[in-house]
Amino acid sequence: MNNPHLKEQVDSRRTFAIISHPDAGKTTITEQLLLFGGAIRQAGTVKGKKTGNFAKSDWMEIEKQRGISVTSSVMQFDYDGKRVNILDTPGHEDFSEDTYRTLMAVDSAVMVIDSAKGIEAQTKKLFQVVKKRGIPIFTFINKLDRDGREPLELLEELEEVLDIESYPMNWPIGMGKGLEGLYDIYNKRVEVYRPENNNGERFIPLVDGDIPSDLPLHKDSVYKQVLEEVELLVEAGDEFDTEKIARGDQTPVFFGSALTNFGVQTMLETFLQFAPSPYSHKTEEGQEVSPYEEEFSGFVFKIQANMNPAHRDRIAFVRICSGTFERGMDVTLGRTGKKIKLSNVTQFMADARENVEEAVAGDIIGIYDTGNYQIGDTLFEGKLKVQYEELPSFTPELFMKVSAKNVMKQKSFHKGINQLVQEGAIQLYKTYLTEEYILGAVGQLQFEVFQHRMLNEYNAEVIMTPMGSKIARWIDPADLDERMSSSRNILARDRFDQPLFLFENQFAMRWFADKYPDVELKSLM
């Protein structure tokens, strides 16, 4: 590494995902972080549908209507000498594929937990993906402005359900209507919820673990109880361990309220201090490519059509793994060996986009795509010639037959299907002989979003006929005999022309295995 400027730039990057169960408040916390970074002037809220203030990270029409995130959004801002890339992921379990792939593109994660509900099913699932990658995870326990569960109980649940050590960076002084503030263990201060009740002070420094006795808060019975709880935590709890945090074995825990913007800035500043700069990335051959490598490389982890419906644009999101991107540079697309000039490239600053002149490892760039890219593609400069590890694909569980309602609009129907399928959230199959279209997805909401987008973005009304749940299994073309197909196992082709069976149930699969014992069937994951 002989380029100190590149090293300095890479070391200033912090690229992380926000994960949670739906409605735990992660989109709201994203808004507040953008506010601190000066990327937006006013935090929109997904609750404020009547006002027209929608969350800046929820750009799709259906997201605004439902008040949920169903796509991963990418936003960037500068704060305290760091260039921050946030990836706000869908919380809804039907969109787990998009989230899983996004988690391959980050160096750390912030997990948002509802203080009243604790750890919910989707949080647990997403945490396991992060844990498997061994990346640092920071926890924000949200909604302190409402009555919730006891803080100690929430920490115990973290350790028992997620099997990770927790270290409370701060501790609530009351909650709900009785919320008075946060006892900041790490920064040795008290953060006051209502400064006007404490001589206008927002942060009160601690002296020997206590605040000055002349402040009204000092006499509060809840505050006195918190002093006892903190003493117990410091004596009996886990020690703060930066090495364990780096391995993902300990999570620093912050309490606060994203909606009232309380405790968020403290979490952000401490997070930026301990979150890692960009990691090395593994290639398919098992080699590691350093972020400080001079030549540019990156991989496509997401494709999104119609982010600007007026322009019918398609954007391939690329995580830069090494070197420097410069506008107009030539790169090679690993899968095809094709040379591509990267001229029209964008970055996302909240709800605005800016053309990128330069970006380095850790940054996320959006490349305007005319159909060149697929999810998982590697791009590299010069002689680097790398292929990064394959991104996860999921075997769908639910299936629908789909056709155009208006036969005169076949062109927009086919264009819409092809573009939306390339985003990777739904899978497309054709029956082997009749070539009827079948869609596969991991959750029902995917179909609703597909139908909505086909109508609103491609003016193509579709007829969708449920086929229920099926078990998809791929077969080697060399082993295939069309007569293997029956009413219990539909023979189809995927979009790469590979043959597969859609089995009615486990019984149909066992029947097939008994009849054809030498035929091996495969699933995606």
Which of these, 61, 57, 56, lies nearest to 73 by C-alpha position? 57
145 belongs to an annotated ligand binding site: yes
**3-class secondary structure per residue, 410-437:** HHHHHHHHHHHHHCCCCEEEEECCCCCE
What is the three-class DSSP state of 277? coil
Count of CB atoms within 10 A of residue 133's CB?
16
126 belongs to an annotated ligand binding site: no
401 belongs to an annotated ligand binding site: no
27 belongs to an annotated ligand binding site: yes
470 belongs to an annotated ligand binding site: no
Count of CB atoms within 10 A of residue 215's CB?
17
144 belongs to an annotated ligand binding site: yes
Q: Which string of DSSP letters, residue by residue, matches 189-239?
A: EEEES-GGGTTT-SEEE-BTTB--TTSGGGG-HHHHHHHHHHHHHHHHSPP
Q: How far apart are CA 378 and CA 298, in angstroms?
A: 6
CB 440 within 8 A of CB 524: no
477 belongs to an annotated ligand binding site: no
Q: Which string of DSSP letters, residue by residue, matches 275-331?
A: S--PPPEEBTTS-EE-TT-SS-EEEEEEEEE-SSTTTT-EEEEEEEEESEEETTEEE
4 belongs to an annotated ligand binding site: no
Which of these, 516, 520, 480, lies nearest to 498 by C-alpha position? 480
Q: How far apart are CA 90 and CA 304, in angstroms?
A: 14
Token pair of 242 as six digits = 């930066």
Which of these, 181, 169, 24, lies nearest to 92 by C-alpha position? 24
C-alpha distances (whole Å) from 293 to each of 55, 197, 277, 354 are 37, 54, 15, 26
212 belongs to an annotated ligand binding site: no
143 belongs to an annotated ligand binding site: yes
Rg of the chain in Å (alpha carbons): 25
Token pair of 282 as six digits = 């593994």
Residue 15 DSSP class: E
CB 401 within 8 A of CB 467: yes
Token pair of 327 as six digits = 């506008």
Instruction: Return the bridge partners of 71, or none.
Output: none
23 belongs to an annotated ligand binding site: yes
90 belongs to an annotated ligand binding site: yes
206 belongs to an annotated ligand binding site: no
CB 242 within 8 A of CB 274: yes
481 belongs to an annotated ligand binding site: no
Q: How far apart are CA 217 and CA 190, in angstroms?
A: 10
497 belongs to an annotated ligand binding site: no
Q: How far apart are CA 240 and CA 185, in angstroms?
A: 11
Give the annotated binding-site residues for GTP. Answer: 20-27, 88-92, 142-145
> Which residue numbers belong to the known binding site?
20-27, 88-92, 142-145
